[in-house]
Chains A and B, each alone.
Chain A
Amino acid sequence: MTTRPAVVLRDVRKSFPLGGGGSLEVLDVERLDLPAGSCTVLRGRSGSGKTTLLNLIAGVAAPSAGSIRVGDTDVLALSEARRDRFRAAHIGYVFQTFNLLSAFTALENVMLAMVFADAVPRRLQRRRAADLLARLGLGERVAHKPQQLSRGEQQRVAIARAMANNPPLILADEPCASLDVRTAAEVIATFLEVCRQEETSLLLVSHEEAALAAADRIFDMAELNRAEARRAAA
């Protein structure tokens, strides 16, 4: 594990405008450093800003104030197109509801991430996708479409997709929220194992015991997010 931080947030705020004027501040993080290669778990109640925080780090939403660095890159200084390219190559994203594309097979879903990133040579993309799926126990399911897979299998495809470009950082938003306890534990275990093998930094929103037990660091949004703390105190 290296000591160079994978993610650095300083005074990051996010507000949403309200219909009748004014705004609602949903996130206010003074400082967050994620060491490279670490596994960090975020937990907190629904609406505490966990997904917003991940979206800001991923660059799919812009903060109202503050600075966000991923590796050596100030993501807010990038144009939108460059930020998209940066995200494709450097950040993997695992969604709570998997978000696999229904028209594509498991293999193609994984390859999609590589198409957008251009980080893996085209001739190697198919093999890399097949290898990842095999490592996640889906070697026999590469040609199946999402609707032909169980929920646990779908989530493992989503994990393989997030890892397709071998990104230094993976963001996972409650990846096991819709899975039963046993399947969730299996998926988390596999996920963490593959991340460790690839030396990938992982920021995981989860309440799973397995995730909490394996985490290097755990943040509670009630403490991390000052806006949430203010709302709780009010």
Chain B
Amino acid sequence: MTILAIALKYLRGRFVASTLTALSIALGVSLIVASLILARGIKEGFLVGATDYNLLVGAKGSPTQLVLGVVFRMDLATPNIEYTTYQGLQNDPRVETAVPIGIGDAFQGFRYVATNSAYFAPFAWRHKMYSLSAGRFFADDPPDAPTYEAVLGAEAARATGLGVGDRFYEGEEMAEYPLTAVGILRPTHGADDRAIFFSLASYWGMNEVARKLTVKPLTAVLVRPKRMSDLGSLHRELNVAAETQAVLPSGVLLTIFNMMAVAEDVLTMILAIVGIIVLLYVFVSLYSATLERRREIATMRALGARRATVLGIVLIESCALAAVGGVGGLLGGHAVAYFAGALLAKGGLVANPFFLDPLEAAVLASVILLGTLAGLLPAVLAYRTEVAENLAPLS
């Protein structure tokens, strides 16, 4: 038997109290870890979705609404612009890539996104690459011959149960224009996981008004200039135009992150209070346990245990409780993030629940350190236990 075994034996001896203490630590840590994962995951989701293109061109209006609606599909789509805007940008010598986007209705809550093959092209500058887990991409069909082929985001496919070859539509009026799933994307851990993609021709074909228009409508154009030095002039020219605005997605992201920072500050404060409550609980639990067994501690001292030994036993107990609670909290935090992520996804926010934040290791180390420190005062109480006083026969 070792000092470690003695400490663990004491913990097992107070199984219910020890379990509750470890559980309270685990719950506190879960909350902290889940918040970390979700906050960082949401930011990552925004960054992954927004940083491939330097400019987003759409109808005049709110820049934030344009970015949220087109890039993250979290807001109502802005009014349409003309397809000629895209054609003009595509032919602009300053533009390396222009990708047309049409935001449509939704199928079971999963937004329709019309685009062309450039959206999925493996450009070297991309932060994320698209690949299929099944099937193929849809074809860039001509406007007069839409194929109504669709590629589903990973989450959209999972949630709707649609597979390659399945035909689907939402609303009786769309029964004449059913889409056929031809491919399913691998998870991107971004807004694309919850989208259903098809060609612009299909988009226009499904829309009664668009079918009749000579100049076809679009929601936005994603633009990447050849040189960053051209970004300013493109931005200025497109904003001066009567019908369009050009938005720097990174600027809008900054605004979003600034708004999130306020919420994060409040969350940090709440988490700090939770942490303090948990530490107090650990302290009270160990302190009362130490008070209860002062006689046993005095007995150990009489048997020859040094003061440092009984101090060590109580510290090992608090350290073990903190370690068990901390590890349980990490696992619990990921579980909470997984379920909370699914809830957030319904509102359009995509957070990767498996995202491993390097801060988690720091959280675990801090929990073990602080948990052990919470046991310090009870340990000192054990250390200072006077043998003769506490061995007096019980009346």
Q: Which residues of A contact B (CB under 8 A)?
A: 51-52, 55, 58, 60-61, 80-81, 84-85, 87-89, 93, 95-97, 99, 101-104, 108, 111-113, 115-117, 125, 161, 173-174, 177
B residues neighboring A (CB under 8 Å): 1-3, 6, 9-10, 12-14, 295-296, 299-309, 387-388, 391-394
Supposing A55-B388, A115-B2 touch, asked if A96 and B393 sit within 8 A by C-beta, the answer is yes
Task: Give the residue of A60, A81, A108 whose beta carbon is less than 8 angstroms from that of B9.
Answer: A108
Q: Are B1 and A108 in contact, with the CB atoms below 8 A?
A: yes
Is the Cβ of B388 less than 8 Å from the Cβ of A61? yes
5 intermolecular pairs with C-beta atoms under 8 Å apart: A102-B296, A104-B13, A115-B3, A116-B304, A174-B393
Most chain A CB atoms below 10 A, which of B10, B300, B393: B393
| Complex interface: chain B residues within 8 A of A97 (CB) | 393-394
Are B303 and A61 interface neighbours, CB within 8 A? no
Contact check, B391 vs A60: say whether CB atoms are below 8 A apart. Answer: yes
Residue of B nearest to A173 (CB): B393
Bound Cα distance A14, B363 (Å): 53
Chain A residues contacting B10 (CB-CB under 8 Å) are 103
Q: Which residues of chain B are near A88, meaning CB under 8 Å?
A: 303-305
User: CB within 8 A of B300: which of A51, A112, A174?
Assistant: A112
Report the bound CA distance from A113 to B6 in whole Å. Answer: 12
- Partner of A116 from the list B9, B295, B305, B394 (CB cut-off 8 Å) is B305
Partner of A113, one of B14, B303, B391: B303
- What 8 A-B pairs have minimum CB-CB distances, sorted nearest first? A88-B304, A103-B13, A60-B387, A116-B304, A61-B388, A99-B299, A84-B306, A116-B305
Instruction: Give the docked Cα–Cα distance between A189 and B295 (Å).
Output: 28
Q: Quick check: B305 and A101 within 8 Å, CB to CB?
A: no
Cross-chain contact A103 with B9 (CB below 8 angstroms) = yes
Most buried by A among B10, B307, B388, B392: B388
- Provide the bound-state CA to CA distance between A60 and B3, in Å: 21
Is B295 a contact partner of A99 (Cβ separation < 8 A)?
A: yes
- Contact residues of A: prevailing secondary structure: helix
Partner of B304, one of A96, A104, A117: A117
Would you give the shortest CB distance from A66 to chain B, in whole angstroms? Answer: 16
Q: How far is A85 from B303 in the complex, measured between Cα atoms in Å?
A: 9
Residue of chain A at shortest CB distance from B299: A99
In Å, the complex CA distance between A108 and B2 comes to 11
Q: How far is the CA of A80 from the CA of B147 in the complex (A)?
A: 90
Contacts of A102 in B (CB 8 A): 13, 296
Min Cβ gap A29→B in Å is 17
A111 and B300 alpha carbons, distance in the complex (Å): 12
How far, in whole Å, are A136 and B304 apart by their CA atoms in the complex? 23
Q: Do the beta carbons of A115 and B6 come within 8 Å of each other?
A: yes
Partner of B306, one of A58, A85, A103: A85
Chain B residue numbers with a CB within 8 Å of A174 are 393
A103→B304 contact, CB < 8 A: no
- A125 & B303 in contact (Cβ 8 Å cutoff): no
Closest to A84 in B: B306
Residues on the B chain within 8 Å of A103, using CB? 9-10, 12-14
Chain A residue at minimal CB-CB distance from B389: A61
Most A CB within 10 A of own CB, among B2, B14, B306, B309: B306
Cα A129 to Cα B271 with chains together (Å): 50
Residues of B with C-beta under 8 A to A61? 387-388
Q: Is the CB of A111 within 8 A of B1?
A: yes
Q: A52-B388, A95-B299, A103-B13 are in contact. List 7 more A-B contacts (CB 8 A).
A: A81-B306, A87-B304, A88-B304, A99-B391, A102-B296, A103-B10, A113-B303
